[in-house]
Amino acid sequence: MTPEEREELLAAHALGTLSAPDAVDADHLIRTDPAAATQFRAYREIADLIALSVPLRRADPALRERVLAAARRSRRRSWRPSLSGRHMPVYVLAAALAAVTIWAATLQTTLVQLRHQTAALSAVVESDAKRLDRLAGAASGVQEARTLSLQLNSALKDEQAVQKVQADPKAVATVMEQTAASHGAGGAYLTSELEGASVLVLHSLPSLPLGGAYRVWLEDPLSQLTLAASFVPDSSMGARVALQRDTRLEAVRVYVVATSRADDPAATGPVVLMATLPKRASTR
Partner 1 sequence: MAALATGDIVALELLYDRYSTLVFSVSLRVLHDSQLAEDVVQEVFLRLWRQPISYDPTRGRFISWLMSVTRNRSLDELRRVTRRMRSEDVEDDEPGHEIAAVGHLDDPQAELMVAEARAAVRAAMTRLPPAQRRVIELAYFGGLTHVEIAERTGDPLGTVKTRVRLGMRKLRESLAEFSTWESDRVSR
**List 197, 201, 208, 229, residue binding partner 1 (CB under 8 A):** 208
What is the crossing angle of helices 20-32 and 34-49, to 10°? 120
What span, in angstroms and rounded, lies between the C-alpha atoms of 23 and 3? 17
Question: Is residue 266 involved in binding partner 1 (CB under 8 A)?
Answer: no
Compute the C-alpha angle 19/158/116, nearest 5°: 140
Residue closer to partner 1, measured from CB, 54 or 139: 54
Least CB distance to partner 1 at residue 228 (A) = 23
**Could you say which residues in the range 58-117 bind partner 1, by CB under 8 A?**
58-60, 63-64, 66-68, 70-72, 74, 76-79
Asked whether position 256 contacts partner 1 by CB under 8 A, the answer is no
Q: Judged by CB under 8 A, does residue 154 bind partner 1? A: no
Contact, 273 vs 176, CB < 8 A? yes
Q: Which of residues 156-185 bind partner 1 (CB under 8 A)?
A: 180-181, 183
Residue 236 touching partner 1 (CB under 8 A): no
CB 214 within 8 A of CB 232: yes
Burial of 273 (0-12, 13-18, 19+ CB in 10 A): buried
Shortest distance in whole angstroms from residue 54 CB to partner 1 = 4
Query: Is residue 39 a contact residue for partner 1 (CB under 8 A)?
Result: yes
In this complex, which beta carbon is closest to partner 1, that of residue 60 or of residue 246?
60
Options 2, 32, 55, 87; binder of partner 1; rule CB under 8 A: 55
Residue 151 in the binding site for partner 1 (CB under 8 A): no
Burial of 198 (0-12, 13-18, 19+ CB in 10 A): buried
CA distance 27 to 254: 12
Report the distance separating Cα 40 and Cα 27, nearest Å: 10
Residues making contact with partner 1 (CB under 8 A):
4, 7-8, 11-12, 14-19, 35, 38-39, 41-60, 63-64, 66-68, 70-72, 74, 76-79, 180-181, 183, 206-210, 268-269
